């Protein structure tokens, strides 16, 4: 598969920099964006696993309320005496599942891993603009994660006010019995915010200032466009959360009154701040996924991306409009109903760019010569699943319908279709796609396909029925649905979901094993196993320190698959110079 023919056209690749940095500078406190990306990958896969395990406990309790969980006996008395989950522990589980998944798994997987790994490689830069700040951004995220984990072991248990931390439940320890856990939750997220902000201004500077000659804005791969807009969203949204968390932490520790009503504080202020951050945050969790899926679908279809310009404009539009829709999380909160109407309209409009992107992905596949490699399978599944999440968003955006389905399992279904069906499938696509670049070896394609199909099937078995639960009025975040007569008939569905969830979780072991095994045993990948056009494929796998032996020059966009100009191949790398190509003007290095 590895096309040696392609390599011949590129500047001499063999002469990589000799790298004689000591081990600790090379792999631990490394300033190399590739190592930092891989460090983020290992960290966030770990938290993905933790988040998944929490979900299993949640599902057990919902499927078999009040029954001892198999193996649950290992949990301490304060959480699950005799393996039976306590309601207070259940609330912590729900809170921490959301927190770990959103902040420590999906967000770092998309932004920390692929932002780091792909940006310099794909724009033809030797590294980030600020490699040391980049390193610091990872090493700040680690203690944030450890603090978040530590919360489970403190007196009073972990935070239990939901991942959205609604005040006053989160602000007043008397309401939950949790004080230290909730404070650690705040502190950890404040630290993580700092890490994200450091990453984001680094990405932005790098993309603006360090593109290789010829890599003009409208030749950037969509993954880079998406990461660029995402970095702007992180930069501007995270500090809002930090500010809100600081106020919350002060309410808990210094006795301030920001969100506590007794002295005139406003619980809804927290919601406004949280969602003013939170909605841009959900786009942070999907835009990079959309970008990388675009790259992979074009590659798999062997076709230029359909409507590149409108794809870019849609990313920008999503990033911009995403600031004006936060109120759709607050339709039932007591916010002025006229504002609700405004937020409904803006939310409905923001589904338009999502639709544009969906149709463009389909347009890319139309007329293609589609190769179903594992990344492509996940990428197509992304489109299919994201559409379901986008369409369920229309129900919830519609205020009258949201009266009924707000805070029910319909929302749970929606957010998992966008975050698991969407973001996580895109992450599987991206990990399998760039794995050979990261480690120089391929993951096993057969097991990759097995993992894909099991995940696809059980994912839908778990989350599709949740729409139905929501339609019956099943509230979210409840410890024991059998308390309600109208929910009792749904218990069979809950059990079926739980069993599917266990199978879904089990299937992930395949991925984990394949991931680890590929590292040692995978087939050697060669520089360009997928026959792709991006600059990262024109350098060895893994790329040397400094990425490119010679700064690449860019002659065209990233999606020139099946171009008539590519005579022997069905792809045309961005850096391959054809006779008709003019040399881009080169700016001297430095400033």
Question: Per CB under 6 A, which of residues 162..201 are in contact with ligand HEM?
Answer: 164
CA distances from 363 to 15, 223, 357, 358 (A): 41, 18, 10, 9
Regarding 135 and contact with ligand HEM (CB under 6 A), the answer is: no
CB 242 within 8 A of CB 190: yes
Query: Does residue number 366 form part of the binding site for another protein (CB under 8 A)?
Result: yes
Helix boundaries (H) for 12-81: 23, 33-63
What is the C-alpha to C-alpha distance for residues 239 and 245, in angstroms, rounded to an integer?
10
Does 545 contact ligand HEM by CB under 6 A? no
543 binds, among Cu ion, ligand HEM, another protein, none (CB under 5 to 8 A by kind): none
Q: Coil, strand or helix: which one is 580? A: coil
Q: Write out the binding residues for ligand HEM, residues 394-423 only, by CB under 6 A.
A: 394, 396-397, 402, 406, 411, 414-415, 418-419, 422-423
When asked if residue 329 is in the footprint of ligand HEM (CB under 6 A), the reply is yes
| Cβ(97)–Cβ(60) below 8 Å | no
Q: Which does 419 bind (CB under 5 to 8 A by kind): ligand HEM, Cu ion, another protein, none?
A: ligand HEM
Please say whether the beta carbons of 522 and 439 come within 8 A: yes
Q: Which 556-575 residues touch another protein, going by CB under 8 A?
A: 556-557, 559-565, 570
Q: Is 284 in the site for another protein (CB under 8 A)?
A: no
Q: Is 357 in the site for ligand HEM (CB under 6 A)?
A: no
To Cu ion, the closest distance from the beta carbon of 585 in angstroms equals 44
**154 vs 235 by CB, closer to another protein:** 235
> Residue 369 — φ and ψ, nearest 5°?
-130, 75
Q: Report yes or no: 120 and 127 within 8 Å, Cβ to Cβ.
A: yes
Binding mask 198-217 for ligand HEM (x = CB under 6 A): --------------------
| Least Cβ distance, residue 148 to another protein (angstroms) | 19
* Whether the Cβ atoms of residue 356 and residue 338 lie closer than 8 Å to each other: no
Residue nearest to ligand HEM (CB): 393
CB of 574 within 8 A of CB of 534? yes
Return the closest-CA partner of residue 262 out of 167, 394, 342: 167
Is residue 585 packed enough to be buried (19+ CB in 10 Å), middle (13-18) or exposed (0-12)?
Answer: exposed
Site map 306..345 versus another protein, x via CB under 8 A: xxxxx---------------------xxx-xxx-xx--xx
CB of 310 to ligand HEM, least distance (A): 17
- Which part of the chain contacts Cu ion (CB under 5 A), choosing from 273-281, 366-374, 392-400, 422-430? 273-281
Check residue 578 for interaction with another protein (CB under 8 A): yes
Site residues for another protein, window 286-305 (CB under 8 A)? 301-305
DSSP state at residue 214? T
Contact 561, 220 (CB under 8 A): no
The distance from CA 156 to its chain's CA centroid, rounded to whole angstroms, is 31
Kindly write out the interface string for residues 266-295 of this chain, putting x where it contacts ligand HEM by CB under 6 A and - elsewhere.
----------------x--xx---------
Rounded Cα distance, 388 and 418, in Å? 8
> In this chain, which of 26, 449, 477, 495 binds another protein, going by CB under 8 A?
477
272, 279, 406, 414: residue in contact with Cu ion (rule CB under 5 A): 279
In the complex with another protein, which residue's Cβ is closer, 103 or 515?
A: 103
Does residue number 412 form part of the binding site for another protein (CB under 8 A)? Answer: no
Partners of 524 in the beta sheet? 441
Round to whole Å and give the CA distance between 107 and 277.
Answer: 14
- Please name which of 235, 234, 245 lies closest in space to residue 274, comparing C-alpha atoms: 245
Q: Which of 444, 218, 240 is nearest to 311 (CA)?
A: 218
Under rule CB under 6 A, residue 48 binds ligand HEM: no
| Nearest residue to Cu ion, by Cβ distance, number only | 279
Interface with another protein, residue 584, by CB under 8 A = yes
Question: 331-354 as b/e, with b when 16 or more CB fall inside 10 Å?
Answer: beeebeeeebeebbebbeebeebb
Q: Which is nearer to Cu ion, 331 or 435 (CB)?
A: 331
Footprint on this chain of ligand HEM (rule: CB under 6 A):
164, 282, 285-286, 328-329, 347, 350-351, 354, 390, 393-394, 396-397, 402, 406, 411, 414-415, 418-419, 422-423
Footprint on this chain of Cu ion (rule: CB under 5 A):
279
């Amino acid at each position: 598969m590895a096309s040696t023919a392609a390599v011949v056209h590129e500047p001499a690749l063999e002469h990589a920099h000799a790298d004689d940095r000591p081990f600790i500078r090379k792999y631990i406190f490394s300033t190399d964006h590739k190592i930092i990306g891989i460090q983020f990958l290992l960290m966030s896969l770990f938290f993905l696993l933790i988040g998944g395990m929490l979900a299993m406990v949640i599902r057990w309790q919902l499927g078999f309320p009040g029954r001892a969980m198999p193996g649950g006996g290992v949990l301490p008395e304060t959480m699950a005496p005799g393996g039976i989950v306590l309601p207070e522990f259940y609330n912590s589980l729900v809170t921490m599942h959301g927190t770990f998944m959103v902040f420590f798994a999906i967000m770092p997987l998309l932004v920390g891993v692929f932002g780091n790994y792909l940006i310099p490689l794909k724009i033809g830069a030797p590294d980030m603009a600020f490699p040391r700040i980049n390193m610091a951004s990872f090493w700040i995220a680690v203690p944030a994660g450890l603090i978040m984990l530590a919360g489970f072991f403190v007196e009073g248990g972990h935070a239990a006010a939901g991942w959205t931390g609604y005040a006053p439940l989160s602000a007043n320890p008397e309401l939950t019995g949790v004080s230290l856990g909730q404070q650690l939750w705040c502190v950890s997220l404040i630290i993580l915010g700092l890490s994200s902000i450091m990453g984001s201004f680094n990405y932005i500077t790098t993309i603006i200032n360090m593109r290789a000659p010829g890599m003009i804005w409208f030749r950037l791969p969509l993954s880079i466009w998406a990461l660029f807009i995402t970095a702007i969203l992180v930069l501007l949204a995270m500090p809002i959360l930090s500010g809100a968390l600081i106020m919350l932490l002060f309410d808990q520790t210094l006795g301030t009154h920001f969100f506590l009503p007794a002295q005139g504080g406003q619980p809804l202020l927290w919601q406004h701040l949280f969602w003013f951050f939170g909605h841009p945050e959900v786009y942070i969790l999907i835009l990079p996924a959309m970008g990388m899926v675009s790259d992979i679908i074009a590659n798999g279809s062997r076709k230029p991306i359909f409507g590149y310009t409108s794809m870019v404009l849609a990313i920008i539009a999503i990033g911009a409009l995403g600031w004006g829709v936060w109120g759709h999380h607050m339709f039932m909160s007591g916010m002025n109903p006229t504002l609700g109407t405004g937020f409904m309209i803006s939310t409905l409009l923001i589904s338009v760019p999502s639709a544009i992107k969906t149709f463009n992905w389909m347009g890319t596949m139309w007329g293609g010569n589609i190769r179903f490699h594992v990344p492509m399978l996940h990428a197509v599944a992304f489109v299919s699943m994201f559409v379901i999440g986008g369409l369920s968003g229309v129900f919830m955006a519609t205020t009258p319908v949201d009266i009924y389905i707000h805070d029910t399992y319909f929302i749970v279904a929606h957010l998992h279709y966008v975050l698991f069906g969407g973001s996580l499938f895109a992450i599987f696509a991206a990990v399998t796609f760039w794995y050979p670049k990261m480690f120089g070896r391929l993951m096993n394609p057969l097991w990759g396909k097995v993992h894909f199909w099991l995940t696809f099937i059980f994912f839908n078995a778990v989350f599709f029925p949740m729409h139905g639960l929501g339609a019956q009025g099943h509230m979210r975040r409840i410890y024991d649905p059998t308390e309600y007569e109208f929910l009792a008939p749904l218990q069979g569905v809950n059990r079926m979901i739980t069993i599917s969830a266990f199978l879904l979780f089990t299937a992930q072991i395949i991925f984990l094993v394949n991931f680890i095994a590929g590292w040692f045993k995978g087939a050697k990948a060669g520089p360009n196993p997928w026959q792709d056009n991006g600059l990262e494929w024109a350098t060895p796998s893994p790329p040397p320190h400094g990425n490119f032996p010679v700064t690449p020059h860019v002659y065209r966009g990233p999606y020139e698959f099946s171009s008539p100009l590519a005579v022997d191949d069905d792809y045309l790398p961005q850096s391959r110079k054809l006779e008709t190509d003019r040399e881009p003007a080169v700016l001297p290095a430095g400033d």
